[in-house]
């Protein structure tokens, strides 16, 4: 597959339509600048064109399962290692937990190129970032300290366990239950299906966030 990243068009949208300079001036984004974003876009394009696009077809062939072990498509593990070493995993992850803390606007521009060049690969970091955001906003400080640095660095990946056989994409119909325990934990029961990047050999650990209903939850 040959992919040419539309960097010029993306830069125009960021600067002329999305007001990048205004976004970079928001609290917490002091390290963001137009010049830095230009460099990020150029390097993200190189990764999309030179690393992800060439193995896109391999992703269509899928992962393999043998002797209870799942192996990612050929070239994916090596691409993930390059992705991690380049710091791309933490582009919009919280800076206080090892991420770069870039605005979502900037990260999404880079992610657009990675998704376009290799959607199968790009879902792994996207799901990881979704889990990172959920943990960052809702978990205890103890859990944040354990999970966020490792997920922001790419040492661990993450998933969202949402879909169930009877629910499809209608999450209001989920039946999985989470019953609070005396020690503050939850006893989770139920069945989930279609866990994207739910098992692979690219990272040391995979963190699964499971959507479940509390005993007193309202219908829907």
Residues 173-215 have pLDDT tens digits of 999 999 999 999 999 999 999 999 999 999 999 999 999 999 9
pLDDT at 99: 86
Q: What percent of the chain has pLDDT over 70?
A: 100
pLDDT at 94: 84
The predicted-structure confidence for 2-35, as pLDDT tens digits, reads as follows 999 999 999 999 999 999 999 999 998 988 999 9
pTM of this structure: 0.91
**56 and 117 Cβ atoms separated by less than 8 Å:** yes
**21 and 29 Cβ atoms separated by less than 8 Å:** no
pLDDT at 114: 97
pLDDT at 15: 96
Give domain limits for the chain.
Answer: 7-210
CA 73 to chain centre: 18
pLDDT at 93: 86
Provide mean pLDDT across the span 140-151: 95
Query: Hey, what's the torsion of the CAs at 184, 190, 192, 197, to 10 degrees?
Result: 30
Write down the CATH number for the domain with range 7-210.
Answer: 1.10.540.10
| pLDDT at residue 142 greater than cutoff 90 | yes
The predicted-structure confidence for 59-73, as pLDDT tens digits, reads as follows 998 899 999 999 999
Query: Hey, what's the torsion of the CAs at 58, 63, 42, 132, to 10 degrees?
Result: 170
């Amino acid at each position: 597959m040959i992919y040419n990243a539309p960097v010029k068009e993306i830069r125009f949208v960021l600067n002329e339509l999305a007001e990048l300079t205004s976004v970079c001036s928001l609290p917490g984004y002091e390290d963001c600048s137009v010049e830095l974003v230009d460099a990020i876009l150029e390097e993200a394009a190189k990764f999309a064109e030179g690393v992800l696009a060439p193995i896109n077809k391999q992703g269509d062939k899928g992962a393999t399962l043998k002797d209870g072990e799942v192996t990612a498509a050929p070239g994916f593990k090596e691409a993930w290692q390059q992705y991690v070493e380049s710091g791309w995993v933490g582009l919009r992850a919280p800076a206080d937990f090892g991420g770069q803390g870039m605005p979502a606007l900037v990260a999404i521009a880079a992610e657009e190129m990675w998704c376009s060049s290799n959607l199968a690969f790009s879902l792994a970091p996207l799901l990881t970032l979704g889990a990172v955001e959920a943990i960052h906003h809702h978990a205890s400080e103890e859990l944040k300290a354990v999970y966020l640095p490792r997920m922001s660095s790419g040492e661990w990946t993450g998933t969202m366990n949402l879909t169930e056989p009877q629910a499809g994409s209608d999450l209001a119909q989920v039946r999985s239950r989470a019953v609070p325990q005396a020690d503050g934990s939850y006893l989770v029961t139920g069945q989930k299906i279609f866990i994207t990047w739910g098992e692979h050999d690219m990272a040391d650990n995979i963190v699964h966030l499971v959507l479940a209903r509390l005993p007193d939850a309202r219908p829907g």
